[in-house]
Structure 1
Amino acid sequence: MRSLFVHLWRSFLVLIGLGVSFGWAQKKYLVSILDADKEYISGSIFCLHKDKKGFVWMGTPGGLCRFDGTQMHFVRDSAIRAVDLVRTIVEDPNSNFWLGVNRIPSFFERYSTVAYFIRKTERFVHLKEKTKEGWRPMKGQPLGLLGTRLWCISPSNQQLFYFDVATRRKTVVLTQVPFFEDNNFYDHQSMFDGKRYLWIHLLEGILRFDTQTLESCYIFSKHPLNKLGNPTFFSHFKLTEEGIYAATKDFSGRLISNDLRTVKPTTKTQEFFAPHHSVLALPKAVYPYYPHYKTFGDGVQWLWNFNYGYKLNPLIPKFQKVTASTHEVPMKLSNRGFLVLNDSLLRVNLDDYQVLLYNKKTDGLFAPNPNDKLNNTGGRTFRSADGNVWIMAKNGLRVYDSLRKTIRTFVNPDTLQNESKFANTVRDVFETTPTTLVLNTESGMFVFHRKNLTFQRIPFFGTNGRVCLHDKEGRFYVGFNGKLHIGYLQDTVWRATTAPITGAIFRNGYDDVAHNQVLGASATGLFVISKTTWKVTKWTAKEGLASEYVYDVLTDKKGHFWVSSTRGVSRIDPYRSKVENFKLTDGLQSNDFNSRTAYLAPDGEMFFGGSQGFNRFYPEDITKNTYVSQPYLTQLTVKEAPYKLPMVISEATSITLPPDSNSFAIQYSVIDYVSEGVNSYQFRLLGSDSTWVNANKQTIARFIQVPAGKYVFELKAANSDGVWNPIPTRLKIEIRPYFWQTQWFKALLFLGMVIGLYFFDKYRVRQLLAQQRKEIKLMVQTQEIERNRFAKEVHDGIGANLTALRIMVGLLGNVDSAMLKAKLENVLETTFDDLRGLINDMSPRSLKTKGLVGVLRERATLINQTQKVYVIVNVSRKFPKHLAEEYEVNLYRIAQELLQNTLKHASATEATFYLDYIGKCLILSYNDNGVGFDVAQAKHKNGNGLSNLQARTQLLHGTMETHSALEQGMEVTIKIPYDFTLE
């Protein structure tokens, strides 16, 4: 579906006499032609209905057209063909519609069927009934709904029936009804009065049918039960409180009493039905399609026919404007004042000394006749008491003699200055006596003597004085040297009546006689000066004026001040200290006005001139627009594309969006038949931000990356005068989260984490226990290896020595005692040395004092003294001087094991240790130049040497790499994690 923007072809004022009782006074309306785009909808309108929500629905060819005062939205689907005509609309309690659809299967056949329109989905459904030929569309045209009974007429079957929407049953109550059917000249007028009666348009007369008693009453009919009048064809009839107004083909009328007992002639039917009616003079309202009329109680009038629709807005633009565009004048209309020529005609003074004439009654703007001397002479004008017109020209003062029809020019010799081309320009003229005028010129103030035609300077003010106002009492208000001087002129002599008022200089003023005060328009605001006390008050932007640069001021009958400025027109209520500023949308010619162009007509009408033309208005007609706008939603877009919802968004109260649709935009409009599209908007998204966003005239709200959750979109609208609707339109929006953002997923995740932590803890405990068992096993294994080594050392060393000692002791007395003593001492010394070495190997006491490096170097020195193997100990500067006891003992045992293997098995002559600290790891490298061995075979045999080294390394969570081969020595590298900074 697409929304069609209404083309406002032309907006203009017309005087029409319309109303409920046909006794109305003339009233102004702004008439708008509703001309929809032909590509989507024909301009024909066959019925019009205003629903409970405020939309105006039009029955058109091919579907329905919804109008909100600004936009048209055409609704159609395959159930209604483009040639089908929607002729009647009846709303049910759910705001859905029962429709009468005029179907034209062929040129010679036409009938109406009953259809149902579902608002939420914008679908049409045809009602069907069972006939002899099977199920066929139900022929009929709904007129009204009472309870569950949908009352319909069927002109093709000549039946009046009702359809029970609850039981879905059709009941025929009248047959052989001679309905009038539409033709090219007249429309079918049958209607329901909304309470009880159906009024049926017959070929002759009218049938009133009582839906409660099922009684029929005929008037002006051939029917035997005819109650009133002779058989007559009525082209139109209307129901009013006064009675039934019925019109005939010749537009003569009858007023029939509501009780159908009396009838009398009337001409008031012509006020609406007659072709000479002023509304019919509107464009495209041509014979014979005279418009239908309807109002819905809000003051807006609706007229339509087979061609176009018309909306008559009672709240016209506040100011009627006359500009080059409104009156198709090929020139700039910068206004410089007015001159009243007669009751209807104004002279309009323009820039560049041009002149146009304006007819107030016909709103016509035109050039003067070439033979018109007065109005072909440009310049600002002033009419003196004798009827002569004085014209302010740039080369002097001119006068038009109203009797002789001649023009004369007077040049002031005192102002002829070659250096200034404006030196002789006359700006203002004031009449003091029948024989003298006071002039404002570019060279100062002068008195012009009309008898001797001479200029005389007013010396008091030199060349800088300027008359601002000449009041009714004859006082002059002169701006001079930063002060306002007030007084009288006696010839050219200045007589002050009060002390000068500092700072109250104004450009031009208005003598408010009714309130005994003077109003002054200045570049800094509006001055109000009491002529009783000479007290000065001032209105500025602080008090609410749109602009302090005031051009002109007038007062109305209520004592309100009307001022023009650089920002439009303002109305000041001095009693309530209230300022109301008007803008372009109120009908102003522009925002910029000109000075000395204000004119107050005798009937109270005001004129203000500006740079693009002028405005005219009656102050009492400037009323506030109190029409309450009703905003509604038109479309939802996600990722810049329309988003399909289960129902149209204007009917939705809540929507749900998937997680990937959290960036969206909501388009909106407003139901307002008075503001002519001049509306403002505010919106907010509760749950995200409670602050109202001023969207001004923007009709779309965008939201980016809104988190998952529940929100409420609220929308308010203001009419053309800034009156906001009190209750915002609301739409609940739920943005679903991704599954990982849902509460159940978070709960499952938390539960999983708890279970995972539980099992991880159990696993960690098992690992710790396993590690402990492994370490215990390694300790036991290491201890077992140490025990075996200790046993072997004791057996091979100390044990052998003790055996030798026992044998030697047994030889005592049998051998040379001196030789035996020497051997005994040598064996004992060796045994003691072996025992000390073994004890030292088991528990090196010097580790605590000398550290690992010191003990290794000491051990190397002892071994080097034997001259069997030369041991070298190299240490990096980064290697810690002291380690934790556990690390020093185990590294020492590893070093011992490496030396032990070299001394016993390697037949090496040289061995080297290298200690380093790299990347928080202790590095112990060892190599010798011995016979070497097969590493794989040694691991397979699981000898005590490598096993002991591997066990101690694992106790320190380190790694060991062994490289060796036969006759190639051995190389061992051990890496042990160690962070000595934590100690």
Structure 2
Amino acid sequence: MKLFVPVLALLFVFLAGKANAQWDTLALRFRTLTIEDGLSQGMVTSIVQDKYGFMWFGTKDGLNRYDGYHFTVYRHDPADSTTVRDNYIYSLLVDRQGRLWVGTGIGLDLFDPMSEKFTHFSVERSEVERGFIQNIVEDHHGDLWLGCSTGLAKLTFSAPDSTVGPPGYTVKRFFSSGTGINIDSDGLLWGSEQWASSFTIKPDHEGFDQVDTLDLSGLQTTNDGLILYGVRSISNVVDDTLRDRHYVIEASRILERGGPDHQLKTLFQFSKGKGGINGNRATLDGEGRIWFGFYQGLFRFDPVHRKIQKLVARDPDLRLSALSAGLVFRDRSGLLWIGTRGYGVLIYDPKMERFHTVPGPGVHSLSPGNNGKVVVAANEVFVSVYDPAMREYSLSVPLGKFEELPVMHVISQWNMGTVQDRTGTFWLNYGGLVSYTVGDQAPVSHRAFDGLTEDVTKSSTVPIFLDGDSLIWFGSEGAFGRYDRRSSTYTWFPWPITSGITEGQFTNAIIRNRDGIFWIGTQRGLCGYDPRKATWWHFAHDTKDTSSLAVDMIYSLALDQKDENQIWAGTNGGGLARIDLRTGKVKRFNTKDGLPNDVVYGILNDFAGRLWLSTNIGICRFDPATNSFRNFDATYGLQSNEFNRYAYCALPDGALFFGGVKGFNYFNPKDIVDDSTASPIRITNIKLVNKVLDHREADSPLKAPAYLSQGMTIPMSDNMVTFEFASMEFSAPVEHRYQYKLDGFDKDWIMSGHERTAIYTNLDPGKYTFHVRGDNRDGIWDTQGTSFQLEVLPPWWRTWWFYSLCALALGGAVVLYLRRQRHHKQFLEKTVQERTSQLSTAKERAEQSERVKQQFLANMSHEIRTPMNAIVGMSNALRRDAPTDPSTRERYVDAIASSSENLLGIVNEILDLSKIEAGRLEMERVRFSPRTILTDVIAVMQYRAKEKGLELSFRVEDDVPEAVIGDPTRLQQVLMNLVGNAIKFTEKGSVEVCVEIAATVHVEDSRATGDMIGLRCIVTDSGIGIAPDRLARVFDEFMQAESDHTRRYGGSGLGLTICQRLVDMQGGTISVESEVGKGSVFTVNIPYALAAPQEQVLPTEAKPAKKQMSGLHILLVEDNKLNVMVAQVELRNAIPDVKIDVAENGQIALDKLQANTYDLILMDVQMPVMDGYEATRAIRALPSIKALTPILAMTANVLEHEVQQCMEAGMDGFVPKPFKQEELVEAIRRVLGLH
């Protein structure tokens, strides 16, 4: 012990010249609890948190328990000895067993949470010596040490772990005057006696407590010249277990004890005569900093860097509260509670410091400066630079310094962007480019106009993009601009669109990818510009395309870190957009997906591949990998919820900056880590029929407070139950969300949001379990939650004995009833089985039909997209490459033509089947040559066969007649389909077509009269063949031999169906024989009437069509510009000296017809203002000869009833789109009677 005394009698190191401490002032955001919130009184003397999570506050007028929303106040009742002994609460302690000890003005109490009663303990020698208990500590043995106004008392319990009744105890007294006591994590007690020396005590449970006096009032000097002070009045000890340090708080100093020699040294000393530290309630925060109250206010001391800060409230209304701070307590979640002397409780959440706030005026722009600093453009400031390392502005030039200069007299004095180049020069937007170097007498104008003669649309230079040491890129209303600092010259690149801006900024964001392509966010969408190729791109909102931008106004842009072919865009009202630059497709994200607000001012990438967005409701973190959002609002310490466009930037070290209407925030994303600690939930109140249950009442079903009760039983007459609950995390109580579920009643969890009550009515008798859980401040849910057992008793008529009587009375009736129902049940079961079988069969057929139709739709999509891809691709190639080589150009055009024909064929195939099924397809009966038909089919298919290396041959027997009567078009369609299929499904070998006379003819067509022959067409291939199980269904709709054939060979699955229907309609038959791997043989038999020999007629000399129709004056009525161009090209190529007028709709056509005379009107059907039907009827109603002008319908409406509608409207003819030149000429000749 003799050796230990000198160690404890340590000398406090104090540097000469540091006697008068200085500090910085830091404004923090506090939340308050006052008497208006339910606190019993404003002078808070002590704060603790119990094992259930509730906060307890001692005041001059009662003890308070707080659940985050409501206070429960305990006061002394002279008529009830189980209430707290005195209303003046000096100290509180939660011991290792979780018991709450209360030090009052006249003694010690122990609180029983089950009964909510207080047990009183006497510690004074006599009633006369009774005094207040200013602090309570528990040593490692479980004994209590009380610092009293009458000395120091030790309570040793005979059964320290007893939880039943008040424990027996003995009292040992030390000293006779006011004493304060504290304990460190090593179990050593530190204290001071009023007007006497300080001391330490090494406690012993058996009573051999070792007391060492520390009376070191004399001064000593160490070998290194430092002045040593003795401890005068120890008021608190704060432990830093992570650093193995103890901080001893004395009235005017903070001392550190640690290291292998356990020496004390002075870390900080206040100036002499400046009052004292209220160290009795000091605490350590999560960063190892000491918080304490001083007579001048609330302070925070960093013992590592020996830096002290005076903490003031950011809210001016709370400044006085912070100045009166008396004690600080840290709860289990890290929240700091500051008790004040008369102003209630201040609450501070250290997590709010994750977002560093620099308050100030509205910030217009932020950009990286030199040496890790940030350039800030704000209201009333010409230029400023913030140093995040020093957390202060290193430069601030007020706007008033230059605003009267001529250089500032421009169209706009609103600076929306400032950047700093590597030389330190600032470039600003003040109605154009303005530069400024620190030390200059005035800014230098580099504007592209003088305000009078030049285009004012070039007056804006926002935003500014620095490109090396020479170039500056920027956006203006009229063009994308580039300024060369070396030559002081501007180059303008006109936008690919018209800005249409009369005020405000046209451009909002400029970024550049690795390929040197600029992407510019504008008020009219996204523009891309490649300076090397002078090429523009543009993506905009399309009301008909949900995969386009939601809105055109783009505020911010960011490159996707994984794929530079994708760009992220923040929009004004359209949320966040991911734009695929290859396809132009846009993936939209908005508030429905979790975004806090659909106005996205800024977008920044972090090193983890996430996006950070600034909005009108705070900052949002978006993870593209999971498409998940995490939102942060002003309650997390942001400058406000509202941010500004242009006001965002990132530094090379990963720090992100966002500016808003009240300053700016900066942070490192790696520091924004969600707290995974679950927030415990407590049931705080239970109501029956809207009356709060009090467990202290005799008839209450609750036998303990709601948060300690396991359950209760209630009668059915009182089965309206309300549960109230609260989270024991207090950083932002109103932000917590809750879920609850009543087992036996609710099937799923009920999401109640921020609502803290659950109400159940009309519960049936039975046993239920109520579960409730909540999330913490960072949205992490407590999966365990809390539960409560509830039993609802049944009324007498729902008891077991009543049910037994009812069962006996009804037993006989039930037996008789069951016998009568047996036979009826058997009948019903049989009927149900039959109906079930029928329904099952119908369901299976319906499902099969649905699968087939779905496959058809997929096939059609593929088949249509394939030629469309070729058309679009070759068109783009022609437009982009403009090949000069005739063969290349011809190859491109041939590909477009071939694909167009394929696409038209698919559409016609679908229409044919539709006509067949509707019974509207009629067979022609004209003279034709079977040999000619087959020759034409082979000529068309020969190219496809050669492409696959197949041998395509045909044979027509000699006895096949030269001419027959029938429908040549449908025979050609059948053969084209069969030969096409044979080539498609044959990889190698040959395809052969044979036409012969059938041996027998089965005629089913009533129209067949006279001499008939049976024409047999046989198509043989060496292809893949057809499996036997699919052979019978090969002519069904949407069917192919195998599903993978659709993916491999394509096709709609309609070809053979159409062939069968066409053959059937002509009274013929079609059959197939096939073997897998060897090929297939399709045989078609169709009856035809023999054609009579045709007389030979000498040909007459006919005038060429072009000559007969030369000089026509045609009115072309068409609203589609591309269709107009096609029609004009074909007409001018087919008709010499033709004159063509164009009308965009029927009304314009009517006006032009009344003003001119036309030989022919080519009329589209579907047009705006006045369609083709209405226009035709109007023309026919004219009172002049012009009403007889020939009208030829030229439309894509090709169904029979649509053609009939054209005729009924008064049109003279019809040509379908798309058309070939010869079809158009033939139709014109028919209408004009030129045959």
TM-score tier (shorter): 0.5 to 0.7
Distance 1:157 1:404 in 2: 72
Which deviations, in whole Å up to 9, do the C-alpha atoms of 1:789-818 show, x marking residues without a partner?
A: xxxxxxxxxxxxxxxxxxxxxxxxxxxxxx
Aligned: 1:487 with 2:530: yes
Aligned: 1:621 with 2:671: yes
Aligned: 1:214 with 2:249: no
Which one of the candidate residues 111, 120, 124 is aligned to 2:118? 124
For residue 214 of structure 1, give the secondary structure of its aligned residue in structure 2: coil
Any unmatched runs of 5+ in structure 1?
A: 1-25, 104-112, 182-187, 224-228, 758-983
Partners of 2:75 and 2:87 within 8 A in 1: no
Distance 2:264 2:665 in 1: 47
Q: 1:609 to 1:528 in 2, by over 3 A?
A: farther
Distance 1:479 1:751 in 2: 83
For residue 717 of structure 2, give the secondary structure of its aligned residue in structure 1: helix
Distance 1:337 1:690 in 2: 52
Which one of the candidate residues 55, 77, 84 is aligned to 2:88? 84
Question: How does 1:545-584 map onto structure 2 within 5 Å?
Answer: 546=595, 551-564=601-614, 569-573=619-623, 576-577=625-626, 579-584=628-633
Q: 1:415 to 1:437 in 2, by over 3 A?
A: farther
Question: How does 1:290-439 map onto structure 2 within 5 Å?
Answer: 291-295=326-330, 298-304=333-339, 306-307=341-342, 308-316=344-352, 319-320=355-356, 333=362, 335=364, 346-349=375-378, 368=398, 370-373=400-403, 377-383=413-419, 385=421, 389-393=426-430, 398=434, 403-408=440-445, 410=447, 412=449, 425-431=460-466, 437-439=472-474
Partners of 1:341 and 1:347 within 8 A in 2: no
Q: 1:354 to 1:189 in 2, by over 3 A?
A: same
Which deviations, in whole Å up to 9, do the C-alpha atoms of 1:223-265 show, x marking residues without a partner?
A: 9xxxxx999542324164546543444426463889xx96443
Any unmatched runs of 5+ in structure 2?
A: 1-24, 78-82, 217-227, 271-289, 301-308, 314-318, 500-505, 541-547, 697-703, 815-1235
Distance 2:494 2:807 in 1: 99
Partners of 2:131 and 2:149 within 8 A in 1: no
| Higher mean C-alpha displacement, 55-64 vs 371-380 | 371-380
For residue 650 of structure 1, give the secondary structure of its aligned residue in structure 2: helix
What TM-score do the two structures reach when normalised by structure 1? 0.57
Partners of 2:351 and 2:636 within 8 A in 1: no
Task: Give, in angstroms, the shift of residue 587 of structure 1.
Answer: 5.0
Task: Give, in angstroms, the shift of residue 681 of structure 1.
Answer: 0.3
Q: 1:541 is aligned with what amino acid?
A: F
Q: 1:61 to 1:515 in 2, by over 3 A?
A: same
Identity of matched residues, %: 18
Q: 1:195 to 1:296 in 2, by over 3 A?
A: farther
Partners of 1:190 and 1:200 within 8 A in 2: yes
Distance 1:287 1:613 in 2: 23
Aligned residue in 1 for 2:784 = 727
Which one of the candidate residues 164, 175, 179 is aligned to 1:178? 175
Which one of the candidate residues 93, 101, 105 is aligned to 1:102? 105
Aligned: 1:267 with 2:316: no
Task: Give, in angstroms, the shift of residue 728 of structure 1.
Answer: 1.9
Q: 1:251 is aligned with what amino acid?
A: R
Aligned: 1:440 with 2:440: no
Distance 2:257 2:797 in 1: 76
Distance 1:130 1:414 in 2: 90
Distance 2:810 2:747 in 1: 37
Distance 1:528 1:46 in 2: 59
Distance 1:76 1:157 in 2: 26
For residue 351 of structure 2, give the secondary structure of its aligned residue in structure 1: coil
Task: Give, in angstroms, the shift of residue 116 of structure 1.
Answer: 2.5
Question: How does 1:392-791 map onto structure 2 within 5 Å?
Answer: 392-393=429-430, 398=434, 403-408=440-445, 410=447, 412=449, 425-431=460-466, 437-448=472-483, 457-458=492-493, 461=496, 468-470=510-512, 475-477=517-519, 485-488=528-531, 494-495=533-534, 509-510=557-558, 519-521=567-569, 523=571, 525-527=576-578, 540-541=588-589, 546=595, 551-564=601-614, 569-573=619-623, 576-577=625-626, 579-584=628-633, 585-587=635-637, 594-601=644-651, 603-609=653-659, 614-646=664-696, 647-675=704-732, 677-747=734-804
Q: 2:752 is aligned with what amino acid?
A: A
For residue 405 of structure 1, give the secondary structure of its aligned residue in structure 2: coil
Which deviations, in whole Å up to 9, do the C-alpha atoms of 1:682-721 show, x marking residues without a partner?
A: 0111111131111101111122222232211111101122
Distance 1:312 1:567 in 2: 22
Distance 2:180 2:715 in 1: 51
Distance 2:133 2:441 in 1: 81
Distance 1:703 1:541 in 2: 38
Aligned residue in 1 for 2:7 = none
Partners of 2:375 and 2:418 within 8 A in 1: no
Which deviations, in whole Å up to 9, do the C-alpha atoms of 1:396-443 show, x marking residues without a partner?
A: 55555763414547464999899xx96855544445586665443222
Q: 1:521 is aligned with what amino acid?
A: A
Which deviations, in whole Å up to 9, do the C-alpha atoms of 1:585-642 show, x marking residues without a partner?
A: 5455677655433222455432234577654332222211223111111222333332
For residue 105 of structure 2, give the secondary structure of its aligned residue in structure 1: strand
Q: RMSD over aligned Cα, in angstroms?
A: 5.4
Distance 2:383 2:733 in 1: 31
Distance 1:300 1:476 in 2: 47
Distance 2:238 2:661 in 1: 50
For residue 712 of structure 2, give the secondary structure of its aligned residue in structure 1: strand
Task: Give, in angstroms, the shift of residue 208 of structure 1.
Answer: 1.5
What TM-score do the two structures reach when normalised by structure 2? 0.47
Question: How does 1:897-936 map onto structure 2 within 5 Å?
Answer: none
Partners of 1:92 and 1:145 within 8 A in 2: no
Distance 1:375 1:474 in 2: 34
Which deviations, in whole Å up to 9, do the C-alpha atoms of 1:375-400 show, x marking residues without a partner?
A: 9932323446465554445x655555
Partners of 2:366 and 2:659 within 8 A in 1: yes
Distance 1:382 1:349 in 2: 10
For residue 266 of structure 1, give the secondary structure of its aligned residue in structure 2: strand
Q: 1:64 to 1:193 in 2, by over 3 A?
A: farther
For residue 117 of structure 1, give the secondary structure of its aligned residue in structure 2: strand
Partners of 1:149 and 1:164 within 8 A in 2: no
For residue 637 of structure 1, give the secondary structure of its aligned residue in structure 2: strand
Which deviations, in whole Å up to 9, do the C-alpha atoms of 1:929-980 show, x marking residues without a partner?
A: xxxxxxxxxxxxxxxxxxxxxxxxxxxxxxxxxxxxxxxxxxxxxxxxxxxx
Task: Give, in angstroms, the shift of residue 565 of structure 1.
Answer: 5.5
Which deviations, in whole Å up to 9, do the C-alpha atoms of 1:636-691 show, x marking residues without a partner?
A: 23333323334321221112333332123222111004455421000111111131
Larger relative strand fraction: 1
Q: 1:125 is aligned with what amino acid?
A: T
Which deviations, in whole Å up to 9, do the C-alpha atoms of 1:467-523 show, x marking residues without a partner?
A: 94345775434689998645226xxxx545x99999899765457899988845254
Q: 1:205 is aligned with what amino acid?
A: S
For residue 688 of structure 1, give the secondary structure of its aligned residue in structure 2: coil
Distance 2:606 2:525 in 1: 30
Q: 1:579 to 1:589 in 2, by over 3 A?
A: farther
| Higher mean C-alpha displacement, 581-590 vs 615-624 | 581-590
For residue 398 of structure 2, give the secondary structure of its aligned residue in structure 1: coil
Aligned residue in 2 for 1:205 = 198
For residue 596 of structure 1, give the secondary structure of its aligned residue in structure 2: strand
Which deviations, in whole Å up to 9, do the C-alpha atoms of 1:339-359 show, x marking residues without a partner?
A: 869987744356xx9979686
Which deviations, in whole Å up to 9, do the C-alpha atoms of 1:536-578 show, x marking residues without a partner?
A: 997643996737875433223444333445775443456x555
Q: 1:670 to 1:362 in 2, by over 3 A?
A: same
Q: 1:581 is aligned with what amino acid?
A: R
